[in-house]
Structure 1
Amino acid sequence: MAETTPATSNRFPPQIPFIIGQEICERFSFYGMRNILMVFLMDYLLRNVNPDPAMREATAKSHFHLFMSGVYFFPLFGGYLADRFLGKYRVIFWLSLLYCVGQFCLALFVDNIYGFYTGLFLISLGSGGIKPCVSAMVGDQFTAEKKHLVKKVFAIFYWSINLGSFFASLFIPLALKKFGPAVAFGIPGALMLVATVIYWAGRNHYVMIPPTGQNPHSFLKVVLSALRNPKERTPGQGWLSAARKDHPQEAIEGVRAVFRINLLLMPTIPFFWMLFDQKASTWVVQAKAMDPQVGDFTFQASQMQFINPALVMILIPVLAAVVYPAFQKMGWELTPLRRMPLGLVIGALSYVVAGYYQVVIEGGTKLNIAWQILPYIVLTVAEILVSTTGLEFAYTQAPREMKSVVQSLWLLNSTLANVAVAIAASLNIFTGSAQFFFYAGLAALAGVGMALMARGYQVRDYYQEAAPIPVGERAAPDLAPKGA
């Protein structure tokens, strides 16, 4: 084995550019279609289905968030397949091809509601299925000796997501306006195909963690064993200690880690995603009621979303290089368990500002669309504190064999959030300014609750202890699915 030097230990593995390149193009593809979806549903697809603008808006918002809930539900499916049977590479590759089919369905069926919604389903399956695998695969490329680079690579990974999102948000709404929906949805389809090719090109360089197969000590089996054998519990060791009859201590500790992470995140983080994902629905509707003229440029309502990824690319390095070290020098380090509750409260503040704008609009004043920059800035700071931190936190706190599943459960928070918003929209519970203040209040309460729960959380980081064998240094794996 080659000797590790300070220079090599600080160098990213050569396969990282393939994953980052794939992520940039895939995120362009996803955000390109997602950011125009609300406008397309309201102004094109549902126009003949429901002539009432208010009801059409409620239906479009409900359908939009149901689609988003699918995007964040299918990570459970992808993570399970990757961890247990196929491995991350094959799940990412084959679901990416399905993802491409879904994107091209949108371009081909812009006048057919059934064909279009079929495309949305395939995108939710493909995009959702690869989500936990890509982020976990990034972490898999690093061993314990390079664990100091994990924080940096996740920051770069999140930066690359926003690079793709930025260009998609800026240009695809213009494509919809100038060239129509077929072209506007076709461009993201082409970028998804490019993403798949880039990922395939790096196949001989990736470190691949083999799937475990049918795991006799899986999460569910350990839990069921503990529930079946309550008399086997060890006093003071918790209810999971009853599973020792059938499972090793390492498996029990892995299950404890999953519960420990999600008992902190699941009751609180969905309230942030309720805020964040509505920037592509509720905030777009608000922008449609504003004056779009800024100087010589006329903004599309959905185009304002470019502000978020642009700010993320600027603020991530500023926070990482300036703000976090400054707090550390002052003796109050912004740890992940401090950043996330703070981010929830700041996210609530963005909705207070946007809600005030809505009150003004409802009073008959037509605000300029540029006013949306302020709540976007506040929401973006909240996003970095919650989402970037949570992505890293969910990875490092999970045992090796459960990293993809825990990443899936992290993304499941968004499913819960979007289902709740979809139901609220379909029932028309809150409209106008009331909905902004309602969601702001929920997020603020969640931030306070998370801060209180975080006091009792015990941090434990998990990293690989040794380097897995790169695929190029062993027999090449059969990349076709079983039975193909």
Structure 2
Amino acid sequence: MPEITKRNVRLPLSIPFIIANEGAERFSFYGMRSILATFLVAQFFNPSMNPSMQAVAEAKANEATHFFVSLAYALPFVGGIAADWFFGKYKVILYISVVYCFGHLFLALFEDDLTWFQYGLVLIAIGAGGIKSCVSANLGDQFDESNSHLMSKIYGWFYFSINAGSVLSTILIPLIYANYGAKWAFGVPGIFMALATVVFFAGRKRYKRVPPSGINRNNFVFISVYAFFNRSKKVKGQLWLDVAKQKFVPGKVEDVKSVYRILALFCFIPVFWSMWDQNLSEWVLQATKLDRHVLGFELLPEQIQTVNPFFLLVFIPIFNYCVYPLLDKAGLKTTPLRRIGAGLVLTALSFVIIAFLQTAIDEGRHPTVWWQIAAYIILSAAEVLVSITGLEYAYTNAPKSMKSTMTALWLLTTALGNLFTAFVNSSISNGGFFSRLEGATYYWFFIGLLSVTIVIYLLVSPFLDEKKPSTEPSDEDELLVASQAHGQ
């Protein structure tokens, strides 16, 4: 008879350090980001608050913000390779966290110097992006067969720490900015990042460390590059990737084929992120022009974005345990591709509300922030449908050897979406082609772009691979997906 592993009811001693580190790091990232767009306008791009300069100033601020986010979400691929091949997760997290701290320090010290402030943003992007692909995987490394049954609960607390850090920082940092100025508003997130680094270092003797594996030639990039440059060697009946079987493990080449099938779905995701991330920049700037009185309190413009993580936490269980089962029972099968399509439609609807709000502002009116809150709620539902569903679909359908690759490629869709939005805003600020997108026209452009994407998606999605994964995702897989899709 096979030996039965005895269950261990005790948590790994490293867990509190990892969760505390994650909560503090997310506080630092979302705290500085919550005020970034409004600070850039007020401090650098239109300090005199000249109405004739405001549109260009906001475009410059949005351009800088989206370039920053794009860089932060492009680097997890590099951080993951550095950890898996060369240094191990612990060293990458620790050393890049120090770079992260210096980035925050630059923001606090150089609030009057745009060049050095931007250097600080680059360092933070390197820090946040470099550790992004390591921290959640490091949490999973702490478990073995004896305590794996506790993993779901711990990933739940991990995901809670992400959203708790996000919510608390977007409430508190704008208050600090309004009452004590930018130096403290950027300094406090830096203190939290330093605290996160110290906490992570304090647990160094308790971590289970998976050593780096060295350079793995049988990976997505090496196989794809080789196959592309040798595609002329393909014989009749072969796909272009099959030529790589001459030099690489054939099973790994088949795994790469699976990745490309999933990438067909990923092609529709960057436009979602190009719009979603505007809720942390363009929407914040719009909130400065709204009547922000809510239940007898006047909210700061940067605090409205707190609606998103709050309703995300509310909607995840509602969709998983109520909406999806009820629709399935009614005969409306909620397949991943249908969920994503519905999420894209909801994203467009949220932007329609924002566009009408902007029209009222352009006409000199002062509409209530409740309409923007409604848009945030709809966008949160869209995030559950698109972001979490999309990554879960990719994660569960990807072969085991390519799951980390799929996570990195998923994060690249965020980078591409933000890069496009940054390009549009750069064109506006420099008087280029997109400078005609004034006021509400800006939002209608993105609505039109998404509408075209939805039409193409409806035509293409019936032909996308929607096979059932060979094994259903575990609870911890689903929570890992949720953390990667939103806060992680």
1:236 Cα deviation from its structure 2 partner = 4.1
Match of 1:453 in 2: 461
Structure 1 position 20 matched with structure 2 position 26: no
Match of 2:287 in 1: 287
- Asked if the contact 2:42/2:49 (under 8 Å) is kept, the reply is no
1:324 maps to amino acid: Y
Distance 1:390 1:189, change over 3 A: farther
Match of 1:120 in 2: 121
Deviations 1:119-159 (A, max 9, x none): 10100111011112224444556789999988877666444
Question: Where does 1:252-401 land on structure 2 (aligned, <5 Å)?
Answer: 252-265=253-266, 267-401=267-401
1:164 Cα deviation from its structure 2 partner = 1.2
Per mean C-alpha deviation after superposition, the further-off stretch among 150-159 and 114-123 is 150-159
1:16 Cα deviation from its structure 2 partner = 4.9
State how far apart, in whole Å, the 1-side matches of 2:15 and 2:236 are.
47
> What is the percent sequence identity of the aligned residues?
41
Per mean C-alpha deviation after superposition, the further-off stretch among 180-189 and 92-101 is 92-101
Calculate the TM-score normalised by the size of structure 2.
0.85
State how far apart, in whole Å, the 1-side matches of 2:392 and 2:195 are.
27
**Equivalent of 2:445 in 423, 438, 445:** 438
Distance 1:310 1:229, change over 3 A: closer
- Asked if the contact 1:25/1:192 (under 8 Å) is kept, the reply is yes
Distance 1:221 1:441, change over 3 A: same
Distance 1:364 1:174, change over 3 A: same
- Asked if the contact 1:397/1:459 (under 8 Å) is kept, the reply is yes
- Asked if the contact 1:398/1:406 (under 8 Å) is kept, the reply is yes
Distance 1:139 1:126, change over 3 A: same
- Asked if the contact 2:5/2:145 (under 8 Å) is kept, the reply is no
Question: Where does 1:23-422 land on structure 2 (aligned, <5 Å)?
Answer: 23-47=22-46, 52-138=53-139, 157-204=158-205, 206-230=207-231, 233=234, 236-265=237-266, 267-422=267-422
Residue 82 of structure 1: SS of its match in structure 2? helix
State how far apart, in whole Å, the 1-side matches of 2:364 and 2:409 are.
44
- Asked if the contact 1:136/1:403 (under 8 Å) is kept, the reply is no
State how far apart, in whole Å, the 2-side matches of 1:278 and 1:22 are.
27
1:57 Cα deviation from its structure 2 partner = 1.5
- Asked if the contact 2:265/2:464 (under 8 Å) is kept, the reply is no
1:21 Cα deviation from its structure 2 partner = 2.9
Deviations 1:387-422 (A, max 9, x none): 223343443344444433332221111111111111
1:77 Cα deviation from its structure 2 partner = 1.7
1:40 maps to amino acid: F
Distance 1:239 1:156, change over 3 A: farther
- Asked if the contact 1:71/1:127 (under 8 Å) is kept, the reply is yes
Residue 112 of structure 2: SS of its match in structure 1? coil
CA RMSD after TM alignment: 3.2
Unaligned stretches of 5+ in structure 2? 429-433, 474-488
Per mean C-alpha deviation after superposition, the further-off stretch among 193-202 and 46-55 is 46-55
Match of 2:485 in 1: none
- Asked if the contact 1:234/1:241 (under 8 Å) is kept, the reply is no
State how far apart, in whole Å, the 1-side matches of 2:37 and 2:305 are.
12
Per mean C-alpha deviation after superposition, the further-off stretch among 118-127 and 140-149 is 140-149
Residue 289 of structure 1: SS of its match in structure 2? coil
Per mean C-alpha deviation after superposition, the further-off stretch among 307-316 and 193-202 is 193-202
Per mean C-alpha deviation after superposition, the further-off stretch among 419-428 and 377-386 is 419-428
State how far apart, in whole Å, the 2-side matches of 1:108 and 1:86 are.
31
1:374 Cα deviation from its structure 2 partner = 0.5
Per mean C-alpha deviation after superposition, the further-off stretch among 110-119 and 402-411 is 402-411
Distance 1:224 1:414, change over 3 A: closer
Calculate the TM-score normalised by the size of structure 1.
0.85
Distance 1:343 1:218, change over 3 A: same
1:273 Cα deviation from its structure 2 partner = 0.7
Distance 1:208 1:102, change over 3 A: same
1:173 Cα deviation from its structure 2 partner = 0.5
State how far apart, in whole Å, the 2-side matches of 1:225 and 1:36 are.
45
Match of 1:474 in 2: none
Distance 1:143 1:268, change over 3 A: farther
Residue 95 of structure 1: SS of its match in structure 2? helix
- Asked if the contact 1:311/1:380 (under 8 Å) is kept, the reply is yes
- Asked if the contact 2:264/2:464 (under 8 Å) is kept, the reply is no
Distance 1:169 1:338, change over 3 A: same
1:189 Cα deviation from its structure 2 partner = 0.8
1:223 Cα deviation from its structure 2 partner = 2.4
Number of positions where the alignment pairs a residue of Structure 1 with one of Structure 2 = 462
State how far apart, in whole Å, the 1-side matches of 2:315 and 2:468 are.
26
Unaligned stretches of 5+ in structure 1? 465-484
State how far apart, in whole Å, the 1-side matches of 2:332 and 2:134 are.
34
- Asked if the contact 1:233/1:241 (under 8 Å) is kept, the reply is yes
- Asked if the contact 1:226/1:243 (under 8 Å) is kept, the reply is yes
Per mean C-alpha deviation after superposition, the further-off stretch among 319-328 and 170-179 is 319-328
State how far apart, in whole Å, the 2-side matches of 1:142 and 1:292 are.
47
Distance 1:264 1:323, change over 3 A: same
1:328 Cα deviation from its structure 2 partner = 3.8
1:184 maps to amino acid: A
Distance 1:83 1:361, change over 3 A: same
Distance 1:53 1:155, change over 3 A: same
Residue 381 of structure 2: SS of its match in structure 1? helix
